[in-house]
Amino acid sequence: MTKAKRRIIAWAIMLATVGIAVDRLTGGWNAVFYAAHLLYLEHVPPLTWPRDTFSPEAWKQTPPGGRYRFVKSLLSSDQLTGRTPSEVDQVLGGMRADRLGCLDMVGPDDHCTYLVRKVGSEGLWWMLVVEFKDGRVSEARRTLAFVD
Protein backbone atom coordinates (compact mmCIF):
# COMPACT_ATOMS: atom_id res chain seq x y z
CA MET A 1 0.00 0.00 0.00
CA THR A 2 1.36 3.40 -0.92
CA LYS A 3 1.91 6.24 1.51
CA ALA A 4 -0.85 8.29 -0.14
CA LYS A 5 -3.43 5.48 0.29
CA ARG A 6 -2.47 5.03 3.94
CA ARG A 7 -2.91 8.76 4.48
CA ILE A 8 -6.39 8.69 2.87
CA ILE A 9 -7.43 5.72 5.00
CA ALA A 10 -6.12 7.44 8.14
CA TRP A 11 -8.09 10.60 7.33
CA ALA A 12 -11.26 8.57 6.65
CA ILE A 13 -10.93 6.73 9.98
CA MET A 14 -10.29 10.00 11.83
CA LEU A 15 -13.29 11.72 10.23
CA ALA A 16 -15.54 8.75 10.99
CA THR A 17 -14.35 8.75 14.62
CA VAL A 18 -14.94 12.49 14.95
CA GLY A 19 -18.39 12.11 13.38
CA ILE A 20 -19.37 9.38 15.87
CA ALA A 21 -18.03 11.43 18.79
CA VAL A 22 -19.91 14.54 17.66
CA ASP A 23 -23.08 12.49 17.18
CA ARG A 24 -22.87 11.07 20.70
CA LEU A 25 -21.80 14.26 22.49
CA THR A 26 -24.19 16.73 20.90
CA GLY A 27 -27.33 14.69 20.66
CA GLY A 28 -27.10 13.90 16.96
CA TRP A 29 -26.29 15.47 13.66
CA ASN A 30 -29.32 17.78 13.89
CA ALA A 31 -27.55 19.67 16.67
CA VAL A 32 -24.41 19.89 14.54
CA PHE A 33 -26.32 21.22 11.53
CA TYR A 34 -28.20 23.71 13.72
CA ALA A 35 -24.93 24.98 15.23
CA ALA A 36 -23.39 25.22 11.76
CA HIS A 37 -26.45 27.16 10.54
CA LEU A 38 -26.18 29.64 13.43
CA LEU A 39 -22.45 30.02 12.77
CA TYR A 40 -23.25 30.74 9.12
CA LEU A 41 -25.91 33.30 10.10
CA GLU A 42 -23.50 35.01 12.49
CA HIS A 43 -20.81 35.63 9.88
CA VAL A 44 -22.06 35.46 6.29
CA PRO A 45 -25.22 37.63 5.92
CA PRO A 46 -23.61 40.82 7.31
CA LEU A 47 -21.07 40.59 4.50
CA THR A 48 -23.88 41.30 2.03
CA TRP A 49 -25.55 44.08 4.02
CA PRO A 50 -25.53 47.49 2.33
CA ARG A 51 -23.43 50.21 3.90
CA ASP A 52 -25.77 53.18 4.09
CA THR A 53 -24.27 56.16 5.88
CA PHE A 54 -25.48 56.36 9.46
CA SER A 55 -27.26 59.46 10.67
CA PRO A 56 -29.45 59.74 13.78
CA GLU A 57 -32.34 61.08 11.68
CA ALA A 58 -32.24 58.22 9.16
CA TRP A 59 -31.92 55.65 11.99
CA LYS A 60 -34.96 57.04 13.83
CA GLN A 61 -37.11 57.16 10.67
CA THR A 62 -36.30 53.57 9.67
CA PRO A 63 -38.36 50.73 11.19
CA PRO A 64 -36.33 48.40 13.45
CA GLY A 65 -36.24 45.62 10.83
CA GLY A 66 -34.51 47.88 8.31
CA ARG A 67 -31.84 49.44 10.49
CA TYR A 68 -29.28 46.79 9.51
CA ARG A 69 -28.47 49.05 6.54
CA PHE A 70 -26.75 51.52 8.91
CA VAL A 71 -24.93 49.05 11.18
CA LYS A 72 -21.68 48.79 9.17
CA SER A 73 -21.37 52.56 8.98
CA LEU A 74 -22.25 53.06 12.65
CA LEU A 75 -19.84 50.42 13.96
CA SER A 76 -16.92 51.51 11.79
CA SER A 77 -17.33 55.17 12.75
CA ASP A 78 -17.10 54.69 16.54
CA GLN A 79 -19.82 57.34 16.96
CA LEU A 80 -21.09 55.63 20.11
CA THR A 81 -17.80 54.99 21.91
CA GLY A 82 -17.50 57.01 25.12
CA ARG A 83 -21.10 58.23 25.15
CA THR A 84 -23.42 58.11 28.16
CA PRO A 85 -26.81 56.33 28.07
CA SER A 86 -28.61 59.66 27.57
CA GLU A 87 -26.35 60.52 24.63
CA VAL A 88 -27.00 57.06 23.13
CA ASP A 89 -30.74 57.76 23.48
CA GLN A 90 -30.28 61.01 21.58
CA VAL A 91 -28.34 59.29 18.77
CA LEU A 92 -30.39 56.09 18.45
CA GLY A 93 -33.79 57.39 19.51
CA GLY A 94 -34.42 55.32 22.60
CA MET A 95 -35.83 52.33 20.71
CA ARG A 96 -34.29 49.35 22.47
CA ALA A 97 -35.39 45.79 21.74
CA ASP A 98 -37.55 45.85 24.88
CA ARG A 99 -39.22 49.12 23.75
CA LEU A 100 -37.56 51.13 26.54
CA GLY A 101 -35.02 53.90 26.21
CA CYS A 102 -31.37 53.29 26.96
CA LEU A 103 -31.78 55.34 30.15
CA ASP A 104 -34.41 52.94 31.53
CA MET A 105 -32.85 50.34 33.82
CA VAL A 106 -29.30 50.75 32.53
CA GLY A 107 -26.61 50.65 35.19
CA PRO A 108 -23.03 51.84 34.81
CA ASP A 109 -21.85 48.39 33.63
CA ASP A 110 -24.86 47.29 31.60
CA HIS A 111 -25.92 47.17 27.95
CA CYS A 112 -28.66 48.28 25.56
CA THR A 113 -29.96 46.22 22.66
CA TYR A 114 -31.54 47.55 19.46
CA LEU A 115 -33.36 45.46 16.86
CA VAL A 116 -31.85 45.83 13.39
CA ARG A 117 -33.10 42.92 11.26
CA LYS A 118 -35.39 39.91 11.62
CA VAL A 119 -34.05 36.50 10.57
CA GLY A 120 -36.79 34.15 9.41
CA SER A 121 -39.91 33.63 11.49
CA GLU A 122 -38.59 32.00 14.68
CA GLY A 123 -38.08 35.19 16.68
CA LEU A 124 -34.40 35.37 15.72
CA TRP A 125 -33.15 38.94 15.25
CA TRP A 126 -29.93 40.70 14.46
CA MET A 127 -29.32 43.17 17.25
CA LEU A 128 -27.01 46.07 17.91
CA VAL A 129 -25.60 45.66 21.41
CA VAL A 130 -24.21 48.76 23.12
CA GLU A 131 -22.05 47.82 26.15
CA PHE A 132 -21.41 50.28 28.99
CA LYS A 133 -18.44 50.35 31.36
CA ASP A 134 -18.36 52.97 34.13
CA GLY A 135 -21.40 54.72 32.61
CA ARG A 136 -19.88 55.15 29.12
CA VAL A 137 -20.10 53.11 25.93
CA SER A 138 -17.16 50.72 25.85
CA GLU A 139 -18.22 48.64 22.84
CA ALA A 140 -20.91 48.42 20.19
CA ARG A 141 -21.36 45.21 18.20
CA ARG A 142 -23.92 43.20 16.27
CA THR A 143 -25.13 39.80 17.36
CA LEU A 144 -27.95 37.30 16.90
CA ALA A 145 -30.56 36.83 19.61
CA PHE A 146 -33.99 35.29 20.09
CA VAL A 147 -36.64 37.89 20.93
CA ASP A 148 -40.06 37.06 22.34
- pTM for the full predicted model: 0.68
The more confidently predicted of residues 65 and 43 is: 65
The residue range of the domain holding 116 is: 46-146
Are 33 and 85 found together in one domain? Answer: no
DSSP secondary structure letters along 32-100: HHHHHHHHHHHHSHHHHS--PPP-HHHHHHS-GGGTHHHHHHHHHHTSSTT--HHHHHHHHTT--TTSS
Structure confidence at residue 145 (pLDDT): 83
Q: Are residues 36 and 78 in the same domain?
A: no
pLDDT band at 74 (very low <50, low <70, confident <90, very high): very high
- Is the domain of 131 the same as that of 76? yes
Compute the Cα dihedral for 7, 12, 16, 22 and give only its sign. positive
pLDDT reported for residue 140: 93
Residue 123's pLDDT is what? 80
pLDDT beyond 70 at 38 = no
Q: Where is pLDDT greater, at 6 or 77?
A: 77
Q: What are the residues facing 79 on neighbouring strands?
A: none
Range of lowest pLDDT (59-68, 99-108, 121-130): 99-108
User: Do residue 59 and residue 33 come from a single domain?
Assistant: no
Q: Are residues 80 and 132 in the same domain?
A: yes
| Residue 143 clears pLDDT 80, i.e. is over it | yes
Q: How many domains does the chain have?
A: 2
Residue 70: pLDDT above 90?
yes
